[in-house]
Amino acid sequence: MCVDATQPVPAGLTRRGVLVGAAVLAGTMTASGTAAAASGAGAGGAGTGAGDLVIRGGTLLDPATGHVTEDAVVVIRRGTVTAVGRARSVRVPDGLPVLDADGRWVLPGLTDAHTHLGTTAEARAALRCGVTSARSGSTSFYQDIALRELARHSPGLAPRLRAVGVFVTPDLGDTVLADPDLTPLARSKDGVRSAEALRRVVDVNAARGADVIKTRVNERAGLPDQDPLAQVYSREQLSETVAAARRHGKGVLCHSYSEKGCHDAVTAGVRSLEHGVFVGERTLHEMRRRDTCFTPTLTAIAELADDPDPVLAERGRTFLPVLKRAVRAAYELGVPLAAGTDSSGGTVDPVGREVELMHAAGLPALDALRTATTGAARLLGLDRTAGRLARGYAGDAILLDGDPLADLSLLRAPVRVVRAGVLV
């Protein structure tokens, strides 16, 4: 059946009406009965709840340069770093609260470039893991957009978030109930496959305030009845989605597994390849040429090996060594890499474990750390905001009990977390 998806999305429906519902589901509705999600227009700025703080006495590591500063001071005013350096060279304004970091290492907050955060509880759990910036991997009802706005207004409650909204996928399932402008797609026997339907889902996401668009080229690895090597969209369909996203000034991330699927996605112009277990050398060369980022989500693949379902456990055992080799090959070719956990279902995995797995795949410790700091920040368009503790950057920090370059496992459980100058 042909679906008329050519009419413009009526943004008056209501960005507010739709997103208030998303805020209720995410748990971000305020006590006054209004939703932060419905009032914001984007993810920029330090946020109204940003704080002042001085972090004093620790050993500061800059992932961008690898430089280590002993007895460091970081001054944060209204959520932004205003001064940083050795204690004797930094003037500390009077009256600011002080966090004593003596004996600890100080790093910028971490970035999880692929995580499914749908509730305030999940957002707080991510913060406790040291994740101060993140990119959504999609939600069923725009909850990530609600959480993004919560993070703007109350940075101590949620990571800075790049929201995806709903997934561009052949079968939207119950997600068609998320938005009156998606429900006409339920009449299509073929699902979201035509050029008009693909554009419609992108346009609706853009109208609701999504920062980036997510699609897929393969089925899921985490469902035993699906074949993750089966391709669900052609290169032409992926190109249609990318073109629609670009008309809104947005990039596309693409769920992928097979080599052909990966190659079709990259040549269609996606901004980042997610999972990508069987990505081959020709595609990696193309990614390097196009500056396409690779977000392998090693954590999610490793966890499959421990699944009680024998099909999933076998996939995990088979896929993980293949993916590690792909990560190593990508690193050696100079393909940009970003750390993402693919956390979902109420469980939030520490992005520090993803950094450890990057290291186990062959990256030196500092370069593995960069995948969750400067590298991931660049992918999210936050390379002048996150990933470093330098003047003008966000006042996001984690404190560790030792040198992470000597023991990357320390990243799994920071002893203190600071988000925009607010102690979490």
pLDDT at 41 over 50: no
Which one-letter amino acid corresponds to residue 99?
L
Q: Does 297 map to a domain? A: yes
Q: Does 87 map to a domain? A: no
Number of helices followed by number of strands (H, E) in the chain: 13, 15
User: What is the reported pLDDT for 25?
Assistant: 63
Q: Encode pLDDT of 375-395 as tens digits.
A: 999 999 999 999 999 999 999
Write the secondary structure of 137-170 as one string of H (helix), E (strand) and C (coil).
CCCCCCHHHHHHHHHHHCCCCCCEEECCCCCECC
Taking CA atoms, 87 is separated from 56, 84, 104, 227, 389, in Å, by 8, 9, 15, 57, 15
Domain with residue 287: its CATH number is 3.20.20.140
Residue pair 229/218 in contact by the 8 Å Cβ criterion: yes
Residue pair 28/123 in contact by the 8 Å Cβ criterion: no
Mean pLDDT of 192-216: 96
User: What is the reported pLDDT for 39?
Assistant: 43
Q: Encode pLDDT of 286-304 as tens digits.
A: 999 999 999 999 999 999 9
User: What is the reported pLDDT for 419?
Assistant: 98
Q: Pick the residue with more confidence: 45 or 129?
A: 129
Q: Does 366 map to a domain? A: yes
Q: Does 411 map to a domain? A: no
User: What is the reported pLDDT for 9?
Assistant: 54
User: What is the reported pLDDT for 2?
Assistant: 35
Q: What span, in angstroms and rounded, lies between the C-alpha atoms of 164 and 213?
A: 5
Nearest to 255 by CA among 297, 198, 217: 217
User: What is the reported pLDDT for 345?
Assistant: 86
Least confident segment among 41-50, 65-74, 188-197, 291-300? 41-50
Helix, strand, or coil (residue 135): strand
Percent over 90 (pLDDT), the chain: 83
Residue pair 276/326 in contact by the 8 Å Cβ criterion: yes
Nearest to 115 by CA among 335, 339, 337: 339
Q: What span, in angstroms and rounded, lies between the C-alpha atoms of 110 and 25?
A: 26
Residue 188 pLDDT class (50, 70, 90 cuts):
confident
Pairing state between β 422-423 and 293-295: unpaired
pLDDT at 32 over 50: no
Q: Pick the residue with more confidence: 229 or 8?
A: 229
pTM to 2 decimals? 0.91
Q: Does 422 map to a domain? A: no
Mean pLDDT of 349-360: 98
- For the chain, the domain total comes to 1
User: What is the reported pLDDT for 29?
Assistant: 58
Q: Does 219 map to a domain? A: yes
Q: Does 45 map to a domain? A: no
Residue with structure tokens 């992470």? 404
Mean pLDDT, the chain, whole residue set: 91
Taking CA atoms, 368 is separated from 67, 79, 94, 262, 363, in Å, by 16, 27, 38, 23, 6
pLDDT at 164 over 90: yes
Q: Does 97 map to a domain? A: no
Write the secondary structure of 269-322 as one string of H (helix), E (strand) and C (coil).
CCCEEEECCCCCHHHHHHHHHHCCEEECCHHHHHHHCCCCCHHHHHHHHHHHHH
- H or E segment to which residue 38 belongs: helix 36-39
Residue 37 pLDDT class (50, 70, 90 cuts):
very low
Mean pLDDT of 386-414: 98
Residue 33 pLDDT class (50, 70, 90 cuts):
very low
Q: What span, in angstroms and rounded, lies between the C-alpha atoms of 87 and 97?
A: 16
pLDDT at 40 over 90: no
Structural domain range at position 325: 111-385
Q: Pick the residue with more confidence: 183 or 244?
A: 244
Q: Encode pLDDT of 60-92 as tens digits.
A: 999 999 999 999 999 999 999 999 999 999 999
Q: Pick the residue with more confidence: 1 or 102?
A: 102
Q: Encode pLDDT of 218-259 as tens digits.
A: 999 999 999 999 999 999 999 999 999 999 999 999 999 999
Mean pLDDT of 397-418: 98
